[in-house]
Structure 1
């Protein structure tokens, strides 16, 4: 009995030593985890890169909550940790964030980011902005950049047509830019891929790439929203942007782009030439108030009067309204349309009806107008 009692005491001591050691190890682990956790949280509360001047376009969709916003910011490299940012916002009692497109940098503090999201504006005032209206060609964008920066139009055009630059952009956006941009007869590979919008810049001295790339990134983000519908329509991005550019250039302030799109689709299905004047102007490489009959004869791949189907590529940079119209045309039997002086469109199913509209709404006044 004495031996058994001694043995049990000995086993108890061993168990107590083991429990003590395990407890010490567990407490040590908890302490280490706590220390590293505290350090990580402190790090996550700081800017990703305080010295960064990189500008990143961030889109916050409508209806986004703090959880989804946090994930978007982390994915774009604006914050270090989505969970930390989410609880920081809750700790600060910040809410009612605004949807929209933001230009942010990895150097922004969490408070600056929260302030931007609350006001719907970038916290820091931009040094300058560049606005690209819908329907601008690359050359017209070059003119705008020449007026707003120290870069010339020639420098801009040289950069957007630089083979090395284009290949780099294609590698960065493989779903947006495909080999179709090098199709035969393409005038400028990136025509139609610089999205029309207002871009803010926070440094005076920015490179041409810093100006051009956000425009391509914006196109990519817009197109991504329509990927399922593009696939459903069995279109390519290049075809969509080409079609949308025709709508953008044909449109007037009061135009019904979905109905114009239906005219183009009906003509394509019937094997008729599109006969759209903006394609002639793009082929001519100049702006004219009126397209004359002799202009329609110009031998150029972009001239949709002498070439069937769509032109080789976009003839301008289209906005969202034209992109959506190209994907969602109205269901009509129209084959013709014209716009009167007030910008109202008049559609017709037959050529005879079209001629009546032309006689009624267009004043020819003896000029050599094009023959429809």
Structure 2
């Protein structure tokens, strides 16, 4: 083979190598472009996924989902439980979010959570042991209100009609269902023959948050009964030890709520009632007369005291058949821990100050001094 032929072969080989290099470069370029596009798309998809995972699962959901967090649960297991219940979208995202915010001290317990809660609300709930959400509105039910008065508050704040509320809380079938749901506070005593309204005094005075614009009457009533149950739990041991019932406690406390004009008076008025019942004397408290009459009066007349009604404590001894209003914590505690006195009488002057007496003669002197 001559030199020209060898040169030609080498030249052709060199051209083939350059061609292969160009092809490889093209392939590398195309692959790089593809990988870049895939990377950008993947990054965008990942960003979108994470962003969505940080939002509530369903901002409009009102369903309350029961979630049990066992003692000793770690962040990983809690996150997995929340994802399984559908409260969050991704357990890992929740876990990382909590870690990035240095949140890890969560409490075991039973929670009523919703898909509308944000991650911050969930974390706050799990930290405090309470469900934390921003309410749509609140409803304040003051102490000393009757069921009829509460119905007016409910209509004004929630939109539930007054009559619909009263129909609900007096429906026999509904009362039976509520008794099954709240056996610790609702007993057969609320169905006694002389009790005017089964749930009178059982709807706890408090400020209630609501997380929907128009809660149902069932939601309103059960929310209030939940509060009653929670606030009475500390007194169950006392009731059992003294062989008393929730009905007795709320009935007694309702009298104090309607009679007392100052917090410090409740314990002393309770002592008067205890002393009177011990001697089998009628309690003779005017609010029971007004409740029996079914109307409000600035002044109870002598003829009113004679009304023949089971609630009238002027003609009947002992407590009335049931509560005459809703009692707050101060009145309930006064029943449980009354003052120790020798008082059997008291009256309120025009400014609302109570004056106590040991004997009837002292009481008459107080009447002459402060009322007549």
TM-score norm. by structure 2 comes to 0.71
* Structure 1 vs Structure 2 CA RMSD: 3.7
Q: Is the 8 A contact 2:55 2:118 kept in 1?
A: yes
Alignment of 1:185 onto 2:205: no
C-alpha change, 1:150 and 1:109, in structure 2 (3 Å) is closer
Structure 2 SS opposite 1:358: helix
Structure 1 SS opposite 2:139: strand
Give the equivalent residue in structure 1 for 2:357: 348
Q: Is the 8 A contact 2:158 2:215 kept in 1?
A: no
Work out which of the residue numbers 97, 114, 118 in structure 2 matches 1:106: 114
C-alpha change, 1:47 and 1:333, in structure 2 (3 Å) is farther
C-alpha change, 1:323 and 1:54, in structure 2 (3 Å) is farther
Aligned-pair distance for 1:79? Answer: 9.7
Cα distance in 1 between the residues matched to 2:255 and 2:278:
17
Work out which of the residue numbers 295, 306, 330 in structure 1 matches 2:315: 306
Matches within 5 A, 1:278-357: 278-357=287-366
Structure 2 SS opposite 1:142: helix
Structure 2 SS opposite 1:286: coil
Give the equivalent residue in structure 2 for 1:156: 165
Give the equivalent residue in structure 2 for 1:232: 241
Aligned-pair distance for 1:160? Answer: 0.3
Matches within 5 A, 1:210-289: 210-253=219-262, 255-289=264-298
Cα distance in 1 between the residues matched to 2:206 and 2:152:
16
Structure 2 gaps, min length 5: 1-53, 86-90
Cα distance in 1 between the residues matched to 2:97 and 2:188:
45
Structure 2 SS opposite 1:226: helix
Structure 2 SS opposite 1:93: coil
Aligned-pair distance for 1:122? Answer: 7.2
C-alpha change, 1:162 and 1:202, in structure 2 (3 Å) is same
Structure 1 SS opposite 2:238: helix
TM-score norm. by structure 1 comes to 0.71
C-alpha change, 1:226 and 1:151, in structure 2 (3 Å) is same
Cα distance in 2 between the residues matched to 1:69 and 1:316:
43
C-alpha change, 1:55 and 1:139, in structure 2 (3 Å) is farther
Larger radius of gyration: 2
Aligned-pair distance for 1:219? Answer: 0.4
C-alpha change, 1:46 and 1:166, in structure 2 (3 Å) is farther
Q: Is the 8 A contact 1:254 1:343 kept in 2?
A: no
Aligned-pair distance for 1:145? Answer: 1.4
State how many pairs are aligned: 301
